Amino acid sequence: MKRKITLNLDQLKKMFSPPVFESDDMKTRQANLINGLLQGFLLVTLCFGVLGSLVVYKRFTIQTVIMLLLTVALVGVYRLLKKGYVQFAGTTLIVLLWSLFTVAIVLLGGVHSPAFAGYIVVALIAGLLQGPRQTLVLVVMSILSGVGTIIGEMNGLLVYPIPHPLAGVLMAYAFLLMMTAVIINLDVSSRRQAEQALRESEQRFRGVLEQSQDGIAVNDEKGILITWNATMEKISGLPVADVLGRPIWDVQYQMLAPEDQFEERRKGLQIGLQSFLETGTSPWANQLLEREYMRPDGKKLYVQGITFPIQTERGFMLGSITRDISSQKQAEQALRKSEENYRTLFDEASDAILVLDVQSNILDVNKRTSELLGISHDELLQRNALEFLHEDDVKNKDHEATLAPLMAGKTIQSDYRLQREDGSYVPTELSTKMLDENRFLNIARDLTERLAAEKALRESEERYRLLVDESPYAIGIHQEGKIVYMNPAAVCLLGAKTADELVGLPIEQIIAHENWEAAQARIERMLQGETGLYPTEDRYLRLDGVVVPVEVTAVPFTHKGKPAIQVIALDISQRKQAEQGLAEALAKWESLVQNAPNFIAILDRDYRLQYVNHIQPGFQREDVIGSSTFAYADPEYHDTIRQKIDHVFHTGEAVRYEILGQGPHGETTWYETWVGPLIMDGAIAFVTLISSEITERKQTEEALQQQQERLEEAEKFAKLGSWDLPVGSSDGWWSKQMFELLGFNPTMGIPDIEDYLAAIHPDDRYLVKNALTMMSQGQEPDSEVYRSNPERGSLRYFRPTVHCQKDAEGNPVKFVGTLLDITERKLADDALQQYTQRLETLRQIDGAILSAQSKEEIAHAALGHVYELIPCRRVAVTEVDLASGLMTILASYQDENSEVEIGKQVSAPNEAFVAQISQGHPVIIDDLLQYTDRPEVAALYEMGIRTYLVIPLIAQGELIGGITFGADKPGAISKADIAVVQQVADHLAIALQQARLVELIQNRLQELITLQQASLTFTRLLSPAKIGQKVIEIIEAELNYKRGAIFTLSETGDSLELLAHSSLGFESHEMRAELSRVRSLVAGGKGISAWVAFHGEVVRSGDIKQDPRYVEADPHINSELCVPLQVGGKTIGSLNVESEKRDAFNEHDERLLMTLAS
């Protein structure tokens, strides 16, 4: 069927319409120009070529062929134009036109022909389409063509005119093109003028755009950015090259802060902007908005901008003007921060601050003002400040006089008392400053603490003055070499009546002449900053000329703004007399102590030696007397010696200390020193030191200490504590080990009876109480073992011993005793007793095993004793068949919550489990809770089992079974329990192996009996059906199978025939129905029996319903054993037995049936 071609006007318009390039207007204009030329050329070509030939000549001519070829060429150019190759299409068109005019010139008379003007037309078209460069190339080619034509004419190669009808056509064609070019040129000129004006307008717009201080961005009708000025680039930090050509929503999304960039936000921007481009309207259009952007360098940017639509012929463009207001925002934030800081400073100021108007109405107050006056902030704003001023302070102040300084900008300070809400007054220092013509700033500082401090200072000065005036020490001040102050004691010391007699005197007049130079030198050195010059001894000169010995201390200080020196002097006349008296007394009793065996010395308060009775070799007496006692003691003991001596001077109590020093012959010697007071005139003037050598005593004490340490070490090793207790006293003694055994802290002392009993096991406290009662009666208690309290630590066992010491008359004096920790011995005895009990249990197990007959009886006999030996929730003995991976339960003991079926067969947990116990390794899981993700473990956990143990039964290197234990507590089975069970397992494995051998022998004997009966039957019977039926009866009678059948292959070998069946000979309806089902199955070659007959292989299945070869004939059947009937290596049928039990058949049954079948 031919396809009908139709072409309407719209299709023609679309076919001949030029392509449009939205992003390049110049390219679009070029395409329009080329399209117009092509349409004109095609029209002329058709008119002069095809129509002219057909109308004039009535046939196709060479003119027609050339015009058709030209038409094809023009169509090819048109195709290039439609595909967008504008430049290439224009170039091809110009080359084509130039070739046509060249042919026309040759045909119409060379350079003298009118067609030569066609070159001008072609050059004009080239200028319009391609530009000046292409025009220049065509002009050069035209000149060369003209020169070539002239040379041809001169040499006679070209003879004109050439008679050909095509010449006229080409001539007309050339002039028609010339007219078309002129018309187009006029149109192009107008277009160029419009384009020039447009370019100038664009340049002016571009200048404004680039010079603008605001960022300007424009995108086209599709949302693509086409304008992004320099200011916008500076504001956003995004270069022009990175944003032009991208959708505006992508650029705006990029400028968002990272926390604002998420997919929903990007989609929202795109949808909103696309809607704006479609409609030109939006809620945010032409609105001045503020936004927050993030520059690529991480700098946050605040901008203010307006977005507006620009309507075009194709829709709406979007323009935006953006201004960077970051500095303005920062200034605003800084202003807010400054205001916040001011407010914080205002509110948190330690002084009360009030802002008042000219009528003293309160405009604002800080928090301290509310605290000071006890009135809330809001209430204060309703009050007048004059209400809080004390009326006397208001009356006493000249307010008019303070107004002028305030107006001049000065701050006025005055003291006011402010009345609190409770009526009390607070003294304040009020500073007032004028803020403006309507407001005053008042800062009130609470003077309560300052006034209290000033009062305390005045009182302190008064006390100091009183102390100085009443001091027994002479205190004076001299400044610039003259006395400026003397207290009463100083006046008395210098023999004056009043201080006025001394004030103003040079200090040189009160110091003895022979001491003046030394005193003057000390003063100068002290003023230069030297220390350590005082205290010192000096001599003062009284007004009556008497010289007084004094001890002087001086310190520099500032007095009334000038350097001065305060001097404290103590009259030491009596001390000097005492020293002199001491020297006289020493002379009297020195002879008494000179020969004393001890070292005796006398020290003053400055620790200087005033007397020693013995001088060590190498020292001189004059060098020792007056020296410090510390010069003869190791620095390690200086602090101890100083503390002891100071204690005697302060309290008068004698003390002692021990130090290690150097003996008379250079050996290391221990000294014991007693320090006592030496009282003169009722006061402690010196101390005496009496030192004795105690080296031997120290050695004895050290030996005793070492012996005590050895005793403690021995008690610790033996875990033995010792104690003693005097009769009728609570002040006893405990050894260190005694505290450790009972868990008491030795630093807290011996515990009382209540605490001691708390450390004893509650069940054994009566034993301790009885022992204490007997001791109170003077009797020795029995040594009965008692235990410690397990709540205070681990359980311990103790054996006490008590001995009563008596005096010569037989009266009890003191009880001494020991406490021995026998925990380890007790545990060892318990372990031995338990081991003995377990040996007896093992003996009983052996006896029970030997008396049992079958495997089940052996397992049951062993478990009865094991269950008593290791109590647990569940214990069982299983037999393992490695070939099938099945475990048969032989015996089991369990609590009332567990039920295990004897003889039940279960699958082994996994191959790893079987491999581990096959190597003789026990499997112990201390807590099943950690492995409940395994199905076999989860089942045990649901039964309440937490600890699980499997001991393998190995006989002659072969795994035959295992003993399993389950306890309801985690970690309930110890290593000792496992060792005991391992011994039981060894005996049990041997017994079970022997029972298996006996069972095997019995099975073999049964097989022989069965075979014998079958043989006797076979010899009496000749019919195969009768022989088969007799075999089935023997199987059911001897082996107790549920059902049996014998099948034979048909003559064709593709089906079975029933030879014998357990239901044959019975006439019940059920039996007949079953025989019918069996015959139909085997006739169709279906079922296990048919498969065995066809393949000659044995099938033994413990769960036949899982076998895909099985076809159900009886829903009660679960196990099946089928063996092939073979003669001479050829299968002739199958022998099949079935059972209602699962896993009912074993290797023995398979071997027996194979024997019968053969």
Q: What pLDDT was estimated at residue 1?
A: 42
For 831-999, the fitting CATH number among 3.10.20.90, 3.40.50.970, 3.30.1950.10, 3.30.450.40 is: 3.30.450.40
Q: What pLDDT was estimated at residue 298?
A: 82
User: In sequence order, which ranges of 594-633 are alpha helices (DSSP H)?
Assistant: 621-624
Q: What pLDDT was estimated at residue 413?
A: 84
User: In sequence order, which ranges of 743-807 are alpha helices (DSSP H)?
Assistant: 753-758, 765-776
Would the CA dihedral through 34, 36, 40, 45 be positive or negative?
positive
CB-based burial of residue 72 (10 Å sphere; 0-12 exposed, 13-18 middle, 19+ buried)? exposed
Q: Specify the residue for token string 């001991």.
A: 951
Distance CA 683, CA 610 (A): 17
* Residue 21 amino acid letter: F
Laid out side by side, the sheet with 474-479 consists of 482-486, 474-479, 562-571, 547-559, 536-541
Would the CA dihedral through 868, 869, 871, 877 be positive or negative?
negative
CB of 254 closer than 8 Å to CB of 247: no
Reading the block at residue 103, the tokens are 């042919």
Distance CA 821, CA 1035 (A): 75
CATH 3.30.450.20 domain position(s) in the chain: 212-330, 349-452, 471-481+498-571, 575-693, 707-821
For 1021-1157, the fitting CATH number among 3.40.50.10490, 3.30.450.40, 3.30.479.30, 3.40.50.2000 is: 3.30.450.40
Distance CA 402, CA 215 (A): 58
Distance CA 315, CA 280 (A): 8
Q: What is the DSSP string of 56-111?
A: IISS--HHHHHHHHHHHHHHHHHHHHHTT-HHHHHHHHHHHHHHHHHHHHHHTTGG
Q: What is the CATH number of domain 471-481+498-571?
A: 3.30.450.20
Q: What pLDDT was estimated at residue 162?
A: 47
User: In sequence order, which ranges of 652-787 are alpha helices (DSSP H)?
Assistant: 695-718, 736-742, 753-758, 765-776
Would you call 725 helix, strand, or coil by DSSP? strand
CB-based burial of residue 774 (10 Å sphere; 0-12 exposed, 13-18 middle, 19+ buried)? middle
CB of 892 closer than 8 Å to CB of 902: yes
Q: Which CATH architecture has domain 212-330?
A: 2-Layer Sandwich (3.30)
Q: What pLDDT was estimated at residue 647?
A: 92
Reading the block at residue 782, the tokens are 């029995």
Distance CA 780, CA 814 (A): 11
Half-sphere exposure of 1040 (CA within 13 A, CB side): 3
CA distances from 171 to 3, 27, 177, 358, 976 (A): 42, 32, 10, 109, 128
> What residues have CB less than 8 Å from 804, skipping those under 6 apart?
775, 778, 779, 780, 812, 814, 815
CB of 399 closer than 8 Å to CB of 432: no
Q: Which regions of the chain are under pLDDT 50?
A: 1-7, 56-60, 162-164, 166, 174-175, 178, 180-189, 898, 1065-1068
Half-sphere exposure of 475 (CA within 13 A, CB side): 13
CATH 3.30.450.40 domain position(s) in the chain: 831-999, 1021-1157
For the 349-452 domain, the top CATH level (class) is alpha beta
User: Is cis: bond before 161, omega within 30 of 0?
Assistant: yes
Distance CA 216, CA 1056 (A): 99
Distance CA 1114, CA 1138 (A): 10
List Cβ<8 Å contacts ≥24 apart for 625-631.
Answer: 629/601, 629/603, 629/689
Q: What pLDDT was estimated at residue 449?
A: 83
Cα-Cα-Cα-Cα torsion 203, 205, 208, 209, nearest 10 degrees, comes to: -100
> What residues have CB less than 8 Å from 280, skipping those under 6 apart?
309, 311, 316
Would you call 648 helix, strand, or coil by DSSP? helix
Selection from 479, 514, 480, 476 nearest residue 494 by Cα: 476
For helices 975-1020 and 855-869, what crossing angle results, to 10°? Answer: 170
Distance CA 750, CA 744 (A): 8
Cβ neighbour number for residue 961 with a 10 Å cutoff: 28
Q: What pLDDT was estimated at residue 178?
A: 47
Would you call 1136 helix, strand, or coil by DSSP? strand
What's domain 575-693's superfamily in CATH?
PAS domain (3.30.450.20)
* Residue 505 amino acid letter: L
* Cα-only R_g, the chain: 66
Distance CA 324, CA 304 (A): 6
Q: Specify the residue for token string 């005119």.
A: 161
CB-based burial of residue 444 (10 Å sphere; 0-12 exposed, 13-18 middle, 19+ buried)? buried
CB of 593 closer than 8 Å to CB of 600: yes
What's domain 707-821's superfamily in CATH?
PAS domain (3.30.450.20)
